[in-house]
Structure 1
Amino acid sequence: METSYSIQTGVTKTLGVVDFVVFGSTLSVALFIGIYYAIQSRHRQDPSDFLVAGRSMGILPVSLSLIVTFLSALTLLGMPAEIYNYNTMFWWLALGMVLAVAGAAYLFNPVFYNMGITSVYEYLEMRFGRAVTMLASLNWLFQTIVYLSFVLYAPSLALKSVTGMELWVSILTVGGLVTLYTSMGGMKAVLWADSFQAVLILVGLLSAFIQGTIVTDGLKNAWEIASEHSRVYFDDFSVNPTTRHSFWSVAVGGGMMWMSYYAVNQCQIQRLLACPTLRKAQIAIWINALGLAAIVSLCCLIGVVMYAFYKDCHPLRYNLISSTDELLPLFVMDILGHLPGLPGIFLSCIFSGSLSSLSSGINALSAVVLQDYIRPFTSVTNLQATIITKCTAACFGFLCIGLAFVASTLGNVLQISYAILSTLDGPLFGIFILGMFFPRANKWGALFGYISGLLFLSWLGIGAYMYDVNTPMSHFSVHGCNWNVTNSTAPISATSPANNTELTKGDDHLGIYRLSYLYYTATGAFVNVVVGIIVSLITGYGKPVTTDPKLISPVINTIFPCLPKKLKKKFSYTAVETEPHPDIHILEQVPDKKMSTGVFL
């Protein structure tokens, strides 16, 4: 085969006319779906049709939408680059995702579904009151807007690296498109567009993986090459929390992070609420788990193959690319650039990941604004509510476009986005854990627990940044770069995987700053719950506690009868009994049948 790879010529390939046609066609499909559902629903004035698709969607579109909502270009670009830069320890995240889905499906989701709510923060309103609800929802609004700005920036970076198109043109084009079809078509457009984009993601990744194995003489050969250079590494079972990626930090810490997405995040819960029954919602989330594990595995395999391809010429060393997040687009153009249309399909794959996340996030943002910031304070008709949600969706879309330019000034998009999200998400997750699993917890416990968790994680994050905590990458070679440059750097053979966090500054400072970013969610939730329990006990000592059993996780109702009588008596609470739902078992009844008792665990 003719030697025309970038590492042999020093020149990167760009998309051809056919690729642009393919790319444009796939974007047009998403726009068409939005227009179709906007026309179809033009006479419907119920905002629930726009926000939760009338709670009538089937399992397949919901499960596909769940897969791609948080599987954005951040993951599609960042995960192969993670394997290339470090090693395969991150692959354990597939297991963490399955565990996360199991916890979300049976511990958290039944509570939201059986309440018939639209915003998850309506739960907090009923459980802890308005002050806690406002703090939590503002946290989520800020967190989601920041996340979506990264999501929009990442595929624009990919487009720039393979087309030379200016970053601002790409951000405006893609951001404008997703804002248009989301604000017009609502949840049905989002779900069906996500389903189409899920197929594109699979086709694009498979194309890169199959062709990558061909040019590296098979997966076995690529695996051996990566293994020789310490990229294949699975057996770090260190319990040291400062280890950046160990089995425990990735599977457990990462699993807790993903459980927060599927258990209490508005974007995912809103999709589950589009199913007509709880059973169908749980089936959809399990199908999603299998899809997530498959795509994560495929991304990691692409990372292995990509390293084998560039083993002797690190593209970043001679400015073939400006960031490791551009590695995958460069790789695709190297191996697929001679096949018209396939690079266009891959680019569609990357953009599909971000379009799905953006549309889901924008739709969820409009739902929270309507349910938590408009309806509690003023009466609106269904027509007014529908108009408000569409206008709000458009406004959030344009805001994300602006913030995407800020994201372009930062570095590693995968780790930075995970660190920021975890800092904000951990304390938020802790509030829901406190509410659903600790019936005697009160609003003061939730409030002080949340503030404590947020302050603690912010301190950790700022400290890690100020003291420049980082992990050295695995070693690279540049002796295979075959164009006219001076290769003065001798190749270094890595003898051990780069995985442990090291301090480049301030080694004499507290080691807590070295905590793996994947533990941030679990740490924030833990601090929230511990402080929340203590404050609740102090402020509620000797006072009767009333809690609606529908606001408590069903698992508590199962555990309570098994506890010793002394614990029941000590930690019991009273709960005003409401009309029971068939999927929620009311806690043990007292003789007058007007009250029920539960336990503070």
Structure 2
Amino acid sequence: MTNEFIYILMVCLFMGGLAVLGILIGRTIKDPDDWVAANQSLGIIPLSGTYFATIVSATSIVSYTGYYYLNGWPGMWNFGGTLMTSFIATLWVAKRMRSFGDTTMPEYIRRRFGRPHSLIACLIILVGSITLLSAQITACVVVISAIVDWSPVFTSFLVLVIFVVFTAMGGMKAVAWTDTICAYTIIIGVWAMAINFLMKLGGFGAMMDGLHELNPGYVSAFSEAITPLTALGWLATWGICNFGAPQFVGRFLSATTPESAQKSQAVTALMLGLFIIPLLIVGLAGRLILPGVEAQDLVFNSLVTQTVHPVLGGLMFASVIAAIISTADSLLLLASTTFTRDIWKEFIDQNMSSQKELNMSRVATVLLGILGVLLTFMQSDVIQSIHAKAVTLMGSSMAMLVLIGAFNKKITSKGAMASMIVGFIVANIWYALGQPFGISPALSGPLSAGITMLIVSSFTEPMSKEQLAPFFPETLDE
């Protein structure tokens, strides 16, 4: 058997297994709440698994491996904000958001601030999730094209069929459990490759000595390209913006209890640590084992196809596909839920029956999945621009509604609206200006949104006790 045959066999078996599991889980779905949020029945293991797998996209494996390969140890700071998100969620956010009883982020925004806020959030989420979905499909095409000579069109629709099947059939429950399988596949894959590389080099110490001899900057905490200010920016940026991304916040809302939501984030932080350590080793050791690769996104494929046994290579390719599918299915579920429950049912057909909502959700999943595939073949500047900004714009618009709005009862409806508008506009202006002073729009956007929220709220009429009671019960006693 050729290496390529082994690669594609392992990838196809893995993808087929996920589809079968999704279909089996789909048979247990009884109503829309079960489909959207697993009837808030997810325990610590599936909740931490799906959160981890949603965060770890193709970028986290393919691109970050190349980043560590080219930058050495200083590159580790780019994952700091993601770890910071789980840390903050463990201490405060996850438990509180789950305690409100909402099933989606727009539902929380509507109940806390108002219907107009929810509609704006829905539109931003819908555009952002579909364009991010197209990016994951594109990444999958690139990875599969490296191991088999299939046309991009065929590959795209094959991937679409796999994750649309279990997302449409099983909803959040199927997504959570398939994501959990993907999560452990990813961790096992990167550890297997890291151990293989360390054995080739003679251990961790030998790797560090080799890197120091090659370039002392590779074993430093910072470098000329990655300064302490850069590291601080990463920590603040992704530590804040992830709370405006509903594909992450939605996981808190699917937990069995507020305590489960909190504990799952602690487990997620541990899983992220177990992922990033071996990934760093793969990138760093790869610099010594296969020097001379200059293109960041070619590093991973080069290391897998040229330095390890094809069975291990097949496991690594399966890990990347797992990362892609686990992120794509979450984005697809988010888009279909936003369209059906948060837009159609809330603003168009409030008397929709449960069965009609469930059927519409499944149809929307298929149609939005097809739209995501079609976007991968549209190379217009508009699509590329929206895609690049999607996460930042969601974070700039909505992160403060969670980080401040869920904890501060003095935040008013007008303050929240001003915050969403200002955060969105500032992030776009910051992009247009070319990120002045090297500061990311993902920092300037949420920061301006938070300041605006506090200032406007202090000068506008407070919300009534009845409006605040579901979130701040103590207001009824004041």
Q: Same fold (TM over 0.5)?
A: yes
**1:34 matched residue in structure 2:** 22
Q: Higher mean Cα deviation, 350-359 or 168-177?
A: 168-177
Tell me if the contact between 1:19 and 1:342 (Cα under 8 Å) persists in the aligned partners: no
Q: Per-residue CA shift, 1:155-200, capped at 9, x if unaligned?
A: 3212222334333332222122111221112222111111211122
Alignment partner of 1:307 is 2:287: yes
Aligned to 1:134: 119
Q: Does 1:375 align with 2:360?
A: no
- Could you say which residue in structure 1 is the equivalent of 2:336? 366
- Within 1, Cα distance between the matches of 2:89 and 2:227? 23
Match 1:165 to one of 150, 154, 170? 150
1:341 shift after superposition: 2.5
- In the alignment, is residue 445 of structure 1 matched against residue 415 of structure 2? yes
Query: Cα distance, 1:253 vs. partner?
Result: 3.4
**Sequence identity percentage:** 18
Structure 1 match to 2:321 = 351
Alignment-mate amino acid for residue 296 of structure 2: T
1-structure distance, mates of 2:381, 2:192:
31
Alignment CA distance shift 1:139-1:250 (3 Å): farther
Aligned counterparts of 2:352 and 2:112: Cα–Cα separation in 1: 24
SS in 1 for 2:315: helix
Provide the residue aligned with 1:387 in structure 2.
359
Q: Structure 1 stretch 358-367 or stretch 228-237: which is displaced more?
A: 228-237
- Displacement of 1:231 after TM fit? 5.3
Match of 2:464 among 546, 550, 555: 546
Query: SS at the partner of 2:391?
Result: helix
Contact 2:422 2:448 in 1 (8 A): yes
- The residue aligned with 1:429 is 399
Aligned mates of 1:127, 1:418 — CA distance in 2: 30
Name stretches of at least 5 consecutive residues in structure 2 with no aligned partner: none
Closer, same or farther in 2 for the Cα pair 1:198/1:87, shift >3 Å? same
Question: What is the letter of the counterpart of residue 392 of structure 2?
Answer: S
User: Which of 332, 337, 341 in structure 1 is aligned with 2:304?
Assistant: 332
Give the structure 1 partner of residue 9 of structure 2: 21
1:271 is aligned to 2:251: yes
**Deviation digits for residues 436-481 of structure 1, max 9, x if unmatched?**
34433323322222222222221221222xxxxxxxxxxxxxxxxx
Q: Which runs of 4+ in 1 moved over 4 A?
A: 406-410, 415-420, 575-578
Residue number in structure 2 paired with 1:114 = 99
Matched residue, 2:222: 236
| Offset of residue 302 of structure 1 | 1.0
Cα distance between partner residues in 1 of 2:457 and 2:241:
23
CA offsets, 1:479-535, max 9 Å, x none? xxxxxxxxxxxxxxxxxxxxxxxxxxxxxxxxx524243xx3332111012223333
Task: Give the TM-score normalised by the residue count of structure 1.
Answer: 0.72
What displacement does 1:386 show?
Answer: 0.7
Change (3 A) 1:52 1:545: closer
Q: Distance in 2 between matches of 1:244 and 1:147?
A: 28
Question: What displacement does 1:418 show?
Answer: 7.0
TM-score by length of 2: 0.89
Q: Which residue is equivalent to 2:372?
A: 400
Deviations 1:37-64 (A, max 9, x none): 12333xx2x1111111122232212211
Q: What RMSD over aligned residues (CA atoms) do the two structures have, in Å?
A: 3.0
Cα-to-partner distance string for 1:528-550 (whole Å, 9 max, x where unaligned): 12223333334x2xx454255xx
Offset at residue 117 of structure 1 (A): 1.2
Unaligned runs of 5+ in 1: 1-12, 238-242, 317-322, 465-511, 549-574, 579-583, 597-601
Change (3 A) 1:244 1:515: farther
Task: Measure, in 2, the Cα distance between the counterparts of 1:389 and 1:525.
Answer: 31
| SS state at 1:457 partner | helix
Judge conservation of contact 2:72–2:219 (CA < 8 Å) in 1.
yes
Structure 1 residues 407 and 26: CA distance shift in structure 2, 3 A? farther
The alpha-carbon deviation at position 419 of structure 1 amounts to 5.6
Confirm whether residue 225 of structure 1 aligns to residue 148 of structure 2.
no
- Residue matched to 1:193: 178
Equivalent-residue separation in structure 2 for 1:577 and 1:192 (angstroms):
35
- Given the superposition, is the C-alpha separation of residues 408 and 16 from structure 1 closer, same or farther in structure 2, using an over 3 Å criterion? farther
Q: Could you list the per-position Cα deviations for residues 55-114 of structure 1 after superposition, in whole angstroms to 9, with x for gaps in the alignment?
A: 223221221111111101111111111112333223134543333223223433233312
For this pair of structures, how many residues does the alignment match? 474
Contact residue 138 and residue 376 of structure 2 kept, 8 A: yes
Q: Distance in 1 between matches of 2:305 and 2:274?
A: 24
Task: State the secondary structure of the residue aligned to 1:376.
Answer: helix
* CA distance in 2 between partners of 1:441 and 1:61 (Å): 34
* Correspondences of 1:430-509 after superposition (within 5 Å): 430-464=400-434
Structure (1 or 2) with the greater helix fraction: 2
